[in-house]
Structure 1
Amino acid sequence: MHIIIIGAGPAGVSAALYARRGGAAVTVIAKGTGALSTAELVENYYGFDAPITGTELAARGIAGAERLGVRFAEDEALGIQQPAEIGAGFVVEGLRSSYDGDAVILAAGAQRRTLSLPGVREFEGRGISYCAVCDAFFYRGKHAVIIGAGEYALHEAQLLLPHAARVTLLTHGDVPAAPPADGIAIEQRRIARIEGERRVQHIVFEDGTVMPVDGVFMAIGTAGSMELARKLGVLIEEGKITVGAQMQTNVPGVYAAGDCTGGLLQIAKAVYEGAEAGLAAVRYLRH
């Protein structure tokens, strides 16, 4: 009984504590501790008589989970695969390794990374996508571009290769994290705007040149809970993952907790949802 948790913030670590105490082997995959590490001082959380830095609070939480035997893998989750047979488990693809688990808890935050460029909001759903594995099929024989420069962007570009006639990585002035696979072109010029009529048609660079495109995939930074949820077919409504009372999603064996489920963006709420998700995942695997 192995549960994989993506995210080492309050929701992910809380889920790990309860899942481990419930008898499961637990692996937490994360790069850093998310938004908590940016909190200068926390002074509205139960149990502390003086303010504590977000970094210290995160470190204490992780130390407590490690004491119980939770494994922490410092890795970047790039995608999740699920065998065709329901109940056969999941494979989380990481930058450094792959991780097999019987259930997955998404707790990697809510941010859907994008660029503040003219045309981005206007063309979301009309040529701008955030999930290559979801929408690659629609770009068979067409020119698809990925905006991003990290490992996640390179991963999304590779998913497009078998479908699109042409794949270009637009780094917006950044240097790619690694050499791309054969067949992926790189364009490092900075982007000025995205244009089109009813759908995306052009990328306009700051030097005034124009690149005709059929589709744009956003892959800025690392994959958060939303991006990973889309790859599994998890229901997302109004920018948040839809969950039931036990933090379960519409995909059996997949749970979500923390900021990605919406509502109050506070540590106390994230810890509660993580506890609920961890216990629910254990119950699911025992039945």
Structure 2
Amino acid sequence: MAETRHTKVLIIGSGPAGYTAGVYASRAMLEPILVQGIEPGGQLTTTTEVENWPGDTEVQGPDLMIRMQDHAKAMGCEIIGDIITKLDTDARPFVAHGDSGTTYTADTVILATGARAKWLGLETEEKFKGFGVSACATCDGFFYRGQEIVVIGGGNTAVEEALFLTNFASKVTLVHRRDELRAEKILIDRLMKNPKIEPLWFHEMVEVTGTDMPLGVEGINVKHTKTGKITHIPCKGVFVAIGHAPSNELVKDVLETHMGGYVVTKPDSTATSIPGIFAAGDITDWQYRQAITSAGMGCQAALEVERFLAESEETDAVAAAE
């Protein structure tokens, strides 16, 4: 039987922003409901070593997210394993529809849906997804023990994945459109010193090649970005690490966005273009995209929700008195 749940604050998403918002909203006695979404824990669940989380010299991404979840739950946040498929924002309370059939009504909403991996859009990339083509080294790297593999990209994600994959692969080729990486200097230094990694500059992947019976990758074709020359690289796995796009499907047609779909928030605030809806983490952060900044925004969103609800109650009280 379909169920309807009401809450003062509905948190959609369960990365560092969502769980931190859950902690702070619970401490404010707002009794929040947090709906985890399709990937509980967010992007950090597909990351191994995290070395830039304050207080932990090194921590595994999945372990950190379990700790955050447990913390939010201990504070009183109700955490539900559901997926919000639609969000009605025309009037308050807002109405969110869950894939489970549950309807959630909320006086305020904190969007913390994060971001998802980008793909190149190649027909052969799509063909071999899950059969040699992946966007998650920590998910699939184990399958390539002793094999030659390729990583596509030049930012932090690509370098981190290349370094991680050296734990399994015999050789990792990093294919990048330029001759300069956009990653943090410490990561670049590690990559350049790793004997298993070979950078291939000024190239882009144009095709994944492989077998049909059974379906599997045998190599890729890359094109030189200056000369146009095509080169074949034998490999058993291809990891696409070209960045992420905001997971804005619920609000892209109703909230103001910019920079390719990131939700716009007011200056020095997490408030969006609709009063009562707040955004925190990678759905709004096109610039930093760090776990610590996401957590900070989750805190900020919860504090702003608390203030928003208090002011709304005062306004309602004054209106009732008149």
Q: Deviation per CA, 1:103-153, whole angstroms, max 9, x where unpaired?
A: 0111111338777157xxxxxxxxxxxxxxxxxxxxxxxxxxxxxxxxxxx
Tell me the equivalent position of 2:288: 264
1:248 is matched with 271
Cα deviation, residue 63, structure 1: 0.4
Kept in 2, the 8 Å contact 1:83–1:89? The answer is no
Once the two structures are TM-superposed, the CA of residue 19 in structure 1 deviates from its matched residue by: 1.3
User: What is the percent sequence identity of the aligned residues?
Assistant: 32
Q: 1:228 corresponds to which residue?
A: 250
Indicate the residue corresponding to 2:309 in structure 1: 285
- Of residues 23, 28, 53, the one that matches 2:60 is 53
For the pair shown, the structure with the greater C-alpha radius of gyration is 2
1:98 maps to which residue?
Answer: 103
Instruction: Give the total of aligned pairs.
Output: 178
**Per-residue displacement from partner, 1:11-64 (whole Å, max 9, x unpaired)?**
001111111112211011113111010111111110114x11111000000101
CA distance in 1, matches of 2:119, 2:63: 30
Contact 1:20-1:68 at 8 Å conserved across structures: yes
Map 1:116-155; keep pairs closer than 5 Å.
Answer: 116-117=121-122
1-structure distance, mates of 2:298, 2:99: 25
Q: Give every structure 1 segment of 4 or more consecutive aligned residues whose post-TM-superposition deviation is greater than 2 Å.
A: 110-115
2:23 paired with 1:17: yes
Q: How does 1:91-240 map to 2 (within 5 A)?
A: 91-96=95-100, 97-111=102-116, 116-117=121-122, 225-231=247-253, 233-238=254-259, 239-240=261-262
Counterpart Cα distance in 2 of 1:36 and 1:108: 13
| Distance in 2 of aligned mates of 1:230 and 1:66 | 30
Root-mean-square deviation (Å)? 2.0
Q: Report the AA paired with residue 109 of structure 1.
A: G
Give 1:190's aligned residue: none
Distance (whole Å) between structure 2 residues aligned to residue 270 and residue 116 of structure 1: 28
The aligned residue for residue 48 of structure 2 is 40
> So what's the TM-score if we normalise by structure 1?
0.58
Aligned: 1:80 with 2:84? no
Amino acid at match of 2:32: V
Higher relative contact order (CA 8 A, sep 6+): 1
Matched with 2:229 is none
User: Residue type of the partner of 2:310?
Assistant: R
- Segments of 5+ residues of structure 1 without an aligned counterpart are 119-223
Q: Which amino acid aligns with 1:30?
A: Q
Q: Given residue 52 of structure 2, which amino acid in structure 1 is its aligned partner?
A: N
Say which SS state the counterpart of residue 226 (structure 1) adopts: coil
Match of 1:82, as an amino acid? T
| CA drift at 1:225 | 3.9
